[in-house]
Structure 1
């Protein structure tokens, strides 16, 4: 049977890769923004927290017990929709500061996959207070539970499944592609909309998502918002396969973009 949608673990990995600044919630404190949230090979998350303030002080005082925390990541649609949030990911666990002797190695490891500029502001004097720069401390969040919620409901996933999954190969380019599809190729969206149930075709159809398994459309009408997935015949792994799969969904007989010869 052909796979028609990403697994829960794949959805979470893609959401983590797309999310910018995440929010870190600790009981008794205002939520803090953390620009770096990177899944490590041991199943914990490397995160950055403001080095100066109550949060870092609380983690230090918690010592070996760690501070209970929840990391929240929001996956926003790249288009201005009525409801822009596509999914929410909550990662609950215990947070510890990374020992000084391990910071440099962990920063190198994170930067190899995620060269976030905020890494340059971790436990260094490079932050410029006159420009409003924040100095960050490097922490580790040891996972206790992971939950993702979207329009289909909420579901949890184990750490093992999360480590085995990979982000969608197109998630880094998805936002640009969807914006281009909306602005320059409404004919493609209209062709895809013909695959929708008849009851949804009268609403405003917008491109919502794109991954190796298919295309998602959002229909906005008077009754609310409706998300529909149009699956590809089989998962694709490169741009050529993606182009062919979309053409097939559109009902185009020329999968490579060729035109019939004139006789």
Structure 2
């Protein structure tokens, strides 16, 4: 019986979970108001997203005045490539739902819950010092989730999203790709050698790295092309990740050969 093919890429739900834990790049939009940036966008186990907005802004005022009814809002998270690419946006995530203020009595416990999973310094803005602008903690009760990238758009069910986990390397991915680009072009070149001959004429850049494989961006004269090189199996730690990348590179000492004298 043939072995099943390796999983080639993260599921849509996994990609969204990873976007939720990456810092920055998030906006909350409400009809009739200018979009507001939010430095906190933490997915909670009850199917809501905790966000922060300036207390003295029009968005906070609108949500507070709406009371328990809340207001319809859309959280947009932009996943930017960590390198200066021709097209820097890797994907967009839109989470639509009802935005409500978190009651004052519940704020400390919710802050502790978020900080235990993600000690984001922006959480300190909710209870800031006297010289800082205070932020309000709010919940976006999720009604729909959609992610879009160069291949198209796809929605994901809330249950599937809550059952997924972020990629174990998403917090380190940016630093690794930047280091690969600046200090290890030989790695990129050897990975590029696995691409179809028609794609090797463009400029090859590392685009993404996750537990399932490496994704390369080819910036060619005819446009951009993204190609994923999957690992033989998903990896979960730095040691197995390093080995998987070496296998993709074609390192001979991981394919049955040994160095002389060993």
TM range (shorter): over 0.9
Determine the structure 2 residue equivalent to 1:30.
Answer: 34
Distance 2:150 2:35 in 1: 25
Determine the structure 2 residue equivalent to 1:235.
Answer: 234
Is the contact between residue 25 and residue 79 of structure 2 (CA under 8 Å) also seen in structure 1? no
Distance 1:112 1:161 in 2: 23
> What is the CA distance between 1:46 and its match in structure 2?
0.7
Is the aligned partner of 1:191 residue 2:190? yes
Task: Report the more deviating stretch, 53-62 or 92-101.
Answer: 53-62
Q: How does 1:6-25 map to 2 (within 5 A)?
A: 6-25=10-29
**Structure 1 residues 127 and 46 mapped into 2: Cα distance closer, same or farther (>3 Å)?**
farther
**Structure 1 residues 183 and 125 mapped into 2: Cα distance closer, same or farther (>3 Å)?**
closer
Is the contact between residue 192 and residue 204 of structure 2 (CA under 8 Å) also seen in structure 1? yes
TM-score, normalised with respect to structure 2: 0.94
Is the contact between residue 29 and residue 35 of structure 2 (CA under 8 Å) also seen in structure 1? yes
User: The residue matched to 1:254 in structure 2 has which SS?
Assistant: helix
Determine the structure 2 residue equivalent to 1:210.
Answer: 209
Distance 1:55 1:127 in 2: 22
Report the count of equivalent residues.
257
Distance 2:25 2:77 in 1: 8
Q: How does 1:42-53 map to 2 (within 5 A)?
A: 42-53=46-57
Determine the structure 1 residue equivalent to 2:118.
Answer: 114
Is the contact between residue 21 and residue 36 of structure 1 (CA under 8 Å) also seen in structure 2? no
Determine the structure 2 residue equivalent to 1:164.
Answer: 163
> What is the CA distance between 1:16 and its match in structure 2?
1.7
Is the contact between residue 19 and residue 74 of structure 1 (CA under 8 Å) also seen in structure 2? no
Distance 1:3 1:125 in 2: 45
TM-score, normalised with respect to structure 1: 0.94
Cα distance per residue 1:40-93 (max 9 Å; x no partner):
110100110111121111101212211100001111111110011111110000
Distance 1:120 1:17 in 2: 17
Distance 1:189 1:71 in 2: 35
Cα distance per residue 1:173-222 (max 9 Å; x no partner):
11111011111111111111111111100000000000000000000011
Distance 1:147 1:187 in 2: 37
Q: How does 1:16-95 map to 2 (within 5 A)?
A: 16-95=20-99
Determine the structure 1 residue equivalent to 2:9.
Answer: 5
User: The residue matched to 2:259 in structure 1 has which SS?
Assistant: coil
Distance 2:9 2:128 in 1: 46
Is the contact between residue 23 and residue 39 of structure 2 (CA under 8 Å) also seen in structure 1? no
User: The residue matched to 2:253 in structure 1 has which SS?
Assistant: coil
Distance 1:87 1:20 in 2: 14
> What is the CA distance between 1:254 and its match in structure 2?
1.5
Q: State the 4+ residue runs in structure 1 displaced beyond 2 angstroms.
A: none
Structure 1, gaps ≥5 residues long: none
Structure 2, gaps ≥5 residues long: none
Is the contact between residue 46 and residue 138 of structure 1 (CA under 8 Å) also seen in structure 2? yes
